[in-house]
Every structure is written in structure tokens, then in C-alpha cells.
Amino acid sequence: MLDLQKAEAIAVTLGCCKLTLEVLEGNKLAQAAYIANGFAGYQLDPEMGRAMFWQKKL
């Protein structure tokens, strides 16, 4: 079982409603793998503005 399939199986078991990930526009190889595993792009509500990516390094 691929790692993405394992993640999906765990998410289903936990009752999660979706999986999300991020990928750079230029990373076509990763995008192809995600598409092959059922992922698709989505757009947020434009009235709420653009998404912001935040992090906290540990």
C-alpha cells in the first residue's frame, strides 16, 4: 500500500472528512502522483481572500 493510500485509510478510520496537501506549481511529478491517487485542486472562496501558509519551526 502506498503512503498516500495509508494516510487515506487512517483518515477514514478516524472519521476525517478530507485530506489536504500542498504542492509547488512546478512540481509536475508530484502533481501527477496526487492526481493518480484521486486528489484534485480546489479554490477557496475569493471573497475571503487568498490562503496564507504559516508555520512554526520546532
pLDDT in tens, the chain (58 residues): 579 999 999 999 999 999 999 899 999 999 999 999 999 988 888 899 888 888 999 9
Query: Phi, psi at residue 55, to the nearest 5°?
Result: -150, 160
Measured over the CA atoms of residue 45, residue 41, residue 8 and residue 27, the dihedral's sign is: negative
Query: Phi, psi at residue 35, to the nearest 5°?
Result: -60, -40
**Cell 509547488 -> residue:** 24
Q: Which pTM value belongs to this model?
A: 0.72
- In angstroms, the CA 16 to CA 4 distance is 15
| Domains of the chain, residue spans | 20-46
